Amino acid sequence: MGSFWDFCAPFYDLAQKTNRRTFGDMLKILHRLVPDGAKVIEIAAGTGEISVAISEKASSILCTDISEKMLSIAKKKAGRRGIKNINFDKINIFDTGKQDSSFDIVIASQVFHLIDCPEIAAAELRRIAKHMVIIPITFTKNLHGTAKLKIRIWELFGFSPKVEFEAADYANFISNIGFQSCEMIQVEGKMPMAVAVWRKPTIM
């Protein structure tokens, strides 16, 4: 898996730009959701667009991926912008090696539809989250026109999800892998997105 994403790394931002406006709106939502001074980990961060976008809100960010080439691009991106509060590490979503509740916010974007056993990864993210897990996704099911053509372009770069979603599908999927009672924020566009927000129950 890592070698595949290493191959995709030079083209990853180009693929994201095919849905630029909706992706940009999603970044604004995440910026709003992250509390000032939060300790954040981003899992499956790709080239670090989310980590960079929220860096001014967080006290620290651990930007992680299984692809060293993705992380190399993310490091250069942060460096060019003079961002000092992001660290980088190669981490597996199924076994992060982090302690329970060690991050205020856990972000995992565009990943659960690509992996086997997403419920195991979901449990790991809930374990390391102190307050919140944020899970953005692009809806790629039953698209038409130019949006469908964009998906075909993504497929040329190796996009091959285990499952695809519309809005109702995603809400059910997220609940079934253990993220019950999520807030679901819709992001409109020709390739719409949603941001699922799971808040960790407070133990009395």
Cα(16)–Cα(13) distance, integer angstroms: 5
Domains of the chain from N-terminus onward: 2-199 (3.40.50.150)
Instruction: Going residue by residue through the chain, which has 204 residues, state the pLDDT in tens, using 9 for 90 and above.
Output: 557 788 888 888 877 788 899 999 999 999 999 999 999 999 999 999 999 999 999 999 999 999 999 999 999 999 999 999 999 999 999 999 999 999 999 999 999 999 999 999 999 999 999 999 999 999 988 888 888 887 787 777 677 889 999 888 899 999 999 999 999 999 998 899 999 999 999 865
Cα(101)–Cα(133) distance, integer angstroms: 11
CB contact at 8 A, 89 and 74:
no
DSSP single-letter state for residue 201? P
CB contact at 8 A, 88 and 75:
yes
- Taking alpha carbons only, the member of 96, 97, 42, 95 closest to residue 70 is 42
